[in-house]
Amino acid sequence: MRRATGCTALALLAMFPAALVAQRALFDEGNRLYQEGDFAGAVTNYGAVLENGFESAELYYNLANAHFQNGEIGRAVLNYERAARLDPAGEDVRANLALVNQRLQDRIEPLPRFWLLTVQDRWMGLFPRGVLEGAAAASYLLLGAVLVMLVLRRPVAWRRNLVRTAYAAAVAAALLGATLMVRETGLGRPEEAVVMTPEARVLSAPSEDGGLTVFTIHEGTKVRIDRRAGEWAEIVLADGKVGWLPLEAIEVV
C-alpha cells in the first residue's frame, strides 16, 4: 500500500484562494491521524473536506487509503476510482487500486475490447492533469501568436514555416483541448458504481417478488449502470453478465 500524499491541501488552496485555512487544517490533521494509525479519524477529516465542497485526486486517494487500512474495501475501491477519474495517469492510484482488486471476493474476467477503445483509454490516461492543462494552453497560445504574425504579414520570408506551425498548433490545440474537455466533463463516460454491501443478489427483474436470483456479487466489485427503474439499477459486469440491483446496494463513482 503506497503512502498517503500531503499535497492536496496546497492544491485546494491554490484552486480556491478564498478557502478558509480550516480546510487545510482538516486535511493536515487527517494526514497526522493516518500516520498515527487512527484511520477512522483520518476518514472523518478527509470526509469533512469533501463535505465542504472541495475535491481532488489526492484527497480521494488519501481517503481511499484510510478506508482500506480501516478494512472498508468497498469504500476504498470507490474512492480510488474517483481519484483515477480526476487523475487517470496517477501511478500510485493505479497501483493501490490493483492491490485492492486482488483482495476482492469476485474474480471477473473482462470481455475483450475493441482495440480502438483501448487506445482511447490509454490516451486519456497518458498525461497528468497539470501537464495536459499546460500543454493545451501552450498550443492555444502558440496558435494565436502564429495567426497574429500571419495577419500582420511579418516577416514575409517566414510565411511558409508559419503556416505549417499554425496547422500543427491547431491540430494540437484541438486534440489536447478535446481530451481535456472529455476528462473534465466525463463526456461519453459510462455511469459506474461500486457494490457497498458484503453480498448482493443480482435479480432477473427490478423486483424482489418477481425477480429470480441470477448471480451474486460482493463488496468492492465495480459495475456499469445501464438504466434505472425506480429504486433499481440494471447493472452490467465486465464479463457481460447483466441483472438488477437495488440502488441502496451500490454507490456511483
**pLDDT > 70 fraction of the chain, expressed in percent and rounded:** 91
Give the residue numbers spanning the domain of 158.
116-185
Q: Show which of 101, 127, 144 is a domain's final residue.
A: 101
> Is 156 contained in some domain?
yes
> Is 2 contained in some domain?
no
Same domain as 143, residue 59:
no
Nearest Cα neighbor of 45 from 80, 77, 8, 18 is 8
* pTM for the full predicted model: 0.76
Mean pLDDT of 58-79: 96
The residue assigned the cell 480501516 is 70
Grid cell digits, residue 33: 491521524
> Is 111 contained in some domain?
no
Question: Which residues, listed in sequence order, are joined to residue 193 by a DSSP beta bridge?
Answer: 223, 252
Q: What is the pLDDT of residue 9?
A: 47
The residue assigned the cell 463513482 is 253
For the chain, give the mean pLDDT. Answer: 88
Q: Looking at the predicted structure, is the pLDDT value of residue 12 above 60?
A: no
Which is more confidently placed, 149 or 66? 66
> Is 150 contained in some domain?
yes
Same domain as 205, residue 180:
no
Same domain as 50, residue 34:
yes
Mean pLDDT of 239-249: 95
Same domain as 78, residue 23:
yes
> Is 180 contained in some domain?
yes
86, 63 in Cβ contact below 8 A? no
139, 172 in Cβ contact below 8 A? yes
- CATH number for the domain spanning 203: value is 2.30.30.40
> Is 88 contained in some domain?
yes
Of the pLDDT bands very low, low, confident and very high (cuts 50, 70, 90), residue 11 is low
* Cα atoms found within 13 Å of the Cα of residue 242, Cβ hemisphere only: 5
CA 92, 98, 101, 102 dihedral sign is: negative
Question: Considering only 1-10, 134-143, 173-182, 220-229, which range has the smallest mean pLDDT?
Answer: 1-10
Same domain as 36, residue 93:
yes
Same domain as 92, residue 153:
no
DSSP secondary structure code for residue 226 in this structure: E
Same domain as 84, residue 16:
yes
Q: Looking at the predicted structure, is the pLDDT value of residue 83 above 70?
A: yes
8, 86 in Cβ contact below 8 A? no
Nearest Cα neighbor of 53 from 16, 82, 6, 85 is 16
The angle formed by the CA atoms of residues 186, 187 and 189, to the nearest 5 degrees, is 65
Which is more confidently placed, 127 or 4? 127
Q: What is the pLDDT of residue 28?
A: 92
**Residue pLDDT, tens place only, 85-102:** 988 888 899 999 999 999
CB atoms closer than 10 angstroms to residue 97: 21
**Residue pLDDT, tens place only, 99-145:** 999 999 999 988 887 878 788 888 887 888 788 889 999 999 999 99
- CATH number for the domain spanning 31: value is 1.25.40.10
Range 185-193, long-range pairs (CB < 8 A, 24+ positions): 186/85, 189/85, 190/224, 190/225, 191/224, 191/225, 191/252, 192/81, 192/222, 192/223, 192/224, 192/225, 192/252, 192/253, 193/222, 193/223, 193/224, 193/225, 193/233, 193/235, 193/250, 193/251, 193/252, 193/253
Amino acid at 151: V
> Is 29 contained in some domain?
yes
Same domain as 210, residue 170:
no
Structural domains counted in the chain: 3
Q: What is the pLDDT of residue 70?
A: 94
Q: Show which of 165, 185, 205 is a domain's final residue.
A: 185
> Is 79 contained in some domain?
yes
Which is more confidently placed, 216 or 8? 216
Q: Show which of 168, 185, 202 is a domain's final residue.
A: 185
Same domain as 176, residue 199:
no
195, 217 in Cβ contact below 8 A? yes
Q: What is the pLDDT of residue 101?
A: 93
Same domain as 232, residue 158:
no
Same domain as 163, residue 127:
yes
**Residue pLDDT, tens place only, 173-191:** 999 999 888 887 777 788 9
Question: Considering only 37-51, 169-183, 235-249, which range has the smallest mean pLDDT?
Answer: 169-183
Same domain as 235, residue 199:
yes
Which is more confidently placed, 128 or 222? 222
